[in-house]
Amino acid sequence: MSATLRAASRDALLSALVALGLFGPMIGLLTAPGPTGGLTLVSRPAAVAIAVSTVFAGRLLLLLWRARRGRRAAYAQNRALAEWLNRAGRYVGPALLLGALLLPLTGERYYLDLGVLVMTYVMLGWGLNIVVGLAGLLDLGYVAFYAVGAYSYAIFSTTFGLGFWTCLPIAGLLAALWGVILGFPVLRLRGDYLAIVTLAFGEIIRIVLVNWVSLTNGPNGISGIPRPTLFGLTFNAGGGPGSFADFFGVTPSITHRIAFLYYVILGLALLTNWVTLRLRRQPLGRAWEAMREDEIACRSLGINITRTKLTAFATGALFGGFAGAFFATRQAFISPESFTFIESAIVLAIVVLGGLGSQLGVALAALVMIGGGELFRSFAEYRMLAFGLALVVVMVLRPRGLVSGRTPSVALGARREISAELVAEGRG
Amino acid sequence: MPVLTRLLGLLLVLVVLGWLVFVFVTGTPYALQQLVNGVTLGMIYGLIAVGYTMVYGIIGMINFAHGDIFMVGAFLSLIALIALSSLGVTSVPLALALTLLFAAAIAALYGWTVERVAYRPLRGSFRLAPLISAIGMSITLQNFVQVSQGARVKPMEPLLPGGISLLNDPDFAVQLSWMQIAIVVTTLAVLGVFTWIVTRTPLGRSMRACEQDLKMAGLLGIDTDRTISLTFVLGALLAAVAGLMILLYYGVIDFYIGFVAGVKAFTAAVLGGIGSLPGAVLGGLLIGLIETFWSAYFSVQYKDVAAFSILVIALIFLPTGILGRADVEKV
């Protein structure tokens, strides 16, 4: 044991030295504006000491823990955890749905706002899950479709006075159209090329939004976007004829509108989920999954790769567009700032953490990352740092995501759970 | 069909080059200035692009965090320059040399750590895993620098003011600043050393062997893990040099510069032919020239769109790049 301890401390010491090299200049020497205007250095030895000792202690504990357990035990424990998660998943899903349905009964505005935010990301995650999780096409520009949906609703409603429910399908269809347009040129590209091209498309769309001032009002954005109505009933704070409060004879309250928005996004998200689950059992969904596993084999079995890829892009983009239109109507104001690469990265992180292809995992990941992120608002600047680290850590430790393993869509005889190590995506 | 697309792609490159020549011939002094600026910028992109192309050549993945290593290099250079000036080093060449060494050493450590932590455990995992991990690393580095050094733009006074006038036209004086000369000379020197490493040393030989066939190289006794690590280290060194150059050239940096520069350098690597080292430098020069001329003659707002569009066009019409070779995927 002492030999292990010695080896572990030597390794940890080396890690600490590396950490000193990494963090010494970057954390230890802060460049700050000095009294004369130029930059000066402020030294922060304490911060470096904390960072380096954290690395040392973390590495030491990790090594000792690993040495005690051994690889095989770690493997078995990992599998046991996956099995447990899968079993628990059967109850967690319905429980989450019930909780989501009942949330507005709390009547707390804070929870409702948070619920709307989380639900938006759940919907975006489920939409991107079709492209990344099912079809295996890494799309780093998903926010482009979100932006197309948001801007189509904003422009149609402020220019032509169309309502939310008329524009919702238009926004979705326009986003899907863009999905096809952007999908065409990248059909022949391999996974990583595809990723970087979609990223470029996302940036191009954002730059166009910033600079095409006559259509999008440039960086100032579009404001005064109308709120949605319930069969023509508005949700004015002041009540008045034709409003929800007036029709049902209740006191007008801002909570009604937020609860209504919450149910709209919940409905849209559930629609996404339902369509995905149905499509997955159809030939189209199976073609997506087959393509993800092996494109060449898929093509040689006679599946039309062009059509399969384009439908995946279009379907994913359609839901992104719906979510975008909802975002525009909820905020009543949109600007290109809301559609940066970071947004795509957050949605991708949700899909990856949840387990590529797993509907429940994506919902849980959105709840943890967005809801959790909101609870720790005071650490806001560390949030993206945590997102980035989480992507790396999950890929290294559980590459199939938090909820992995799944039952096959088609099986001969009894359907058996397939363990996480053997599949490329999570539970349906 | 592939031959046709390749021809079309080369034709596109020719058209762009022809346009550059045409612009150059017709509008001499102004265009000459743009040429000087474009070459300087292109050199910097080329330095970053070499890192992308090397890593892609060996393990076939896009090192998404490479642009952020470049950004880290720029910040390290800034820190070193301020530290040196407060320590009383007044000689500019000495300060630059020390800064270069410091930034390159620490950035190399960053490159090594990134490979060790985020990519090595994923060798043999599924197709998208290293790429997702690389995106995570990129976000991590960006936000690490934002948290540790602040989100504000960092300005720096020019170290080497002045320059020489190339052409004293009454309407437009063409300036070749000392800074630009320093950038081009340093870049060429660094690339020379780098070419020597790749073509003449045992390390370069094992790198080229790994690039041709990783498994076979391993069977023949090459320590592939070590070679891959050193490839990342070399790439990070070059990125750090580029970071110092961009700091000297623009005089302002922030934690976000790695993203756009990374995409552009990647475009350069693709355009030159991914996996080809001279191709990366050639692609970098092309991207630098196109971006500069586009900003000068069309619109500055859309200069990034121009670079991104070139990426898309290059991947569609010229997927093997100008100097790359066709790669057939075997089952």
A405-422 pLDDT, tens digit per residue, is 555 566 666 666 555 555
The per-residue DSSP string of B86-121 comes to: HHT---HHHHHHHHHHHHHHHHHHHHHHHIIIIIGG
> What one-character DSSP code corresponds to residue A135?
T
A116 has pLDDT over 50: yes
* Residues on chain B touching A193 (C-beta within 8 angstroms): 270, 315, 319
Q: Point out the residue among B75, B263, B301 whose CB comes nearest to the CB of A200.
A: B263
- Bridging pattern class, strands A333-334 and A222-223: antiparallel
> What one-character DSSP code corresponds to residue A235?
-
pLDDT in tens, B66-84: 999 999 999 999 999 989 9
CB contact under 8 A, B139 and A388: yes
User: What class is the B2-317 domain?
Assistant: mainly alpha
**A191 neighbors A295 (Cβ within 8 angstroms):** no
Residue A79: per-residue pLDDT: 67
Average of per-residue pLDDT values in chain B: 85
CB contact under 8 A, B149 and A26: yes
Structure tokens at B281: 């430098």
CB contact under 8 A, B136 and A186: no
**B287 neighbors B44 (Cβ within 8 angstroms):** no
Q: Where are the alpha helices (DSSP H) in A70-163?
A: 71-102, 109-129, 143-160
Which distant-in-sequence residues (6+ apart) come within 8 Å of A133 by Cβ? A351, A355, A356, A357, A358, A362, A425, A426
Q: Which residue is associated with the tokens 């590459």? A: A399
Burial (0-12, 13-18, 19+ Cβ within 10 Å), B199: exposed
Residue A324: per-residue pLDDT: 93
Please count the other Cβ atoms lying within 10 Å of the Cβ belonging to residue A340. Answer: 16
CB contact under 8 A, B140 and A138: no
Domain residue ranges of chain B, discontinuous segments joined by +: 2-317
Q: Point out the residue among B78, B122, B131 whose CB comes nearest to the CB of A195.
A: B131
Nearest CA to A355 among B63, B60, B132, B117? B132
Nearest CA to B134 among B62, B232, B39? B62
Q: Which residue is associated with the tokens 């998943």? A: A89
pLDDT band at B306 (very low <50, low <70, confident <90, very high): confident
- Bridging pattern class, strands A222-223 and B163-168: unpaired
Mean pLDDT confidence for A38-67 = 86
Q: Distance of CA A168 to CAs A152, A171, B102, Å?
A: 9, 5, 56
* Residues on chain A touching B113 (C-beta within 8 angstroms): 18, 22
Nearest-by-CA chain B residue for A30: B149
CB contact under 8 A, B132 and A207: no
pLDDT in tens, A151-161: 999 998 888 87
Q: Which residue is associated with the tokens 């510069």? A: B257
Nearest CA to A133 among A312, A370, A364, A341? A312
Which distant-in-sequence residues (6+ apart) come within 8 Å of A293 by Cβ? A136, A424
d(CA B235, CA B55): 8
- The number of residues in chain A equals 428
Average of per-residue pLDDT values in chain A: 82
Q: In this prediction, what percent of chain A has a pLDDT beyond 70?
A: 85
pLDDT in tens, A193-242: 888 888 888 888 888 888 888 888 878 888 878 877 777 677 766 666 66
* Residues on chain A touching B301 (C-beta within 8 angstroms): 207, 210-211
Residue B1: per-residue pLDDT: 45
Q: Where are the alpha helices (DSSP H) in A240-304?
A: 244-248, 254-281, 283-293, 295-300
Residue A292: per-residue pLDDT: 84
CB contact under 8 A, B135 and A208: no
B305 has pLDDT over 90: no
**A22 neighbors B113 (Cβ within 8 angstroms):** yes
Structure tokens at A389: 């680290």
Structure tokens at A250: 């209740």
* Residues on chain A touching B302 (C-beta within 8 angstroms): 207, 211
Structure tokens at A101: 């349905």
Residue B6: per-residue pLDDT: 63
Of the ranges A149-153, A404-408, B129-133, B162-166, the best mean pLDDT one: A149-153
**B113 neighbors B69 (Cβ within 8 angstroms):** no
Q: What pTM did the predictor assign?
A: 0.86
* Bridge partners (DSSP) listed for residue B176: B164
Instruction: Give the side-chain half-sphere CA count within 13 A for B210.
Output: 26
A196-200, A253-257, A415-419, B321-325, range with the lowest pLDDT:
A415-419
- Bridging pattern class, strands A333-334 and A29-33: unpaired
Q: Which helix (H) or strand (E) holds A63?
A: helix A45-69
* Bridge partners (DSSP) listed for residue B229: none
Mean pLDDT confidence for A230-257 = 71
d(CA A408, CA A427): 9
* Bridge partners (DSSP) listed for residue A33: A39
Mean pLDDT confidence for A77-92 = 71
* Residues on chain B touching A197 (C-beta within 8 angstroms): 311-312, 315
B96 has pLDDT over 50: yes
Q: Distance of CA B154 to CAs B71, B75, B242, B254, B304, Å?
A: 12, 9, 17, 6, 22
Mean pLDDT confidence for B281-294 = 88
Residue A428: per-residue pLDDT: 40
Relative orientation angle of helices A109-129 and A254-281, to the nearest 10 degrees: 20
pLDDT in tens, A323-359: 999 999 888 888 888 898 888 988 988 888 887 777 8
Q: Point out the residue among A21, A186, A395 whose CB comes nearest to the CB of B129.
A: A395
B117 contact A CB<8A = yes
* Residues on chain B touching A132 (C-beta within 8 angstroms): 128
The per-residue DSSP string of A32-60 comes to: EE-TTSSEEEEE-HHHHHHHHHHHHHHHH
Nearest-by-CA chain B residue for A29: B79
More confident residue, B22 or A115: A115
Residue B59: per-residue pLDDT: 84
**A257 neighbors A115 (Cβ within 8 angstroms):** no
- Counting one residue from chain A and one from chain B, the pairs whose CB atoms sit within 8 A come to 174
d(CA B264, CA B49): 8
d(CA A190, CA B262): 19
A381 contact B CB<8A = yes
- What is the Rg, in whole angstroms, of the alpha carbon atoms belonging to chain A? 25
d(CA A191, CA B198): 29
pLDDT band at A427 (very low <50, low <70, confident <90, very high): very low
Q: Point out the residue among A138, A199, A390 whose CB comes nearest to the CB of B128.
A: A138
More confident residue, A237 or B122: B122
pLDDT in tens, B21-55: 776 666 667 777 888 888 899 999 999 999 898 88
Domain residue ranges of chain A, discontinuous segments joined by +: 2-64, 107-422
State the maximum Cα–Cα separation within chain A, in Å, rounded to a whole number. Answer: 82
Decide: helix, strand or coil at residue B150: coil
Residue A426: per-residue pLDDT: 45
Give the minimum alpha-carbon distance from A323 to chain B in angstroms, rounded to a whole number: 24
- The number of residues in chain B equals 331
d(CA B206, CA A397): 30
Decide: helix, strand or coil at residue B276: coil
CB contact under 8 A, B109 and A395: no
Amino acid residing at B80: A
Residue A176: per-residue pLDDT: 94
B17 contact A CB<8A = no
B9 has pLDDT over 80: no
Give the minimum alpha-carbon distance from A254 to chain B in angstroms, rounded to a whole number: 36
Structure tokens at A253: 């309250």
Nearest CA to A322 among A205, A174, A202, A101? A174
> What one-character DSSP code corresponds to residue B320?
T
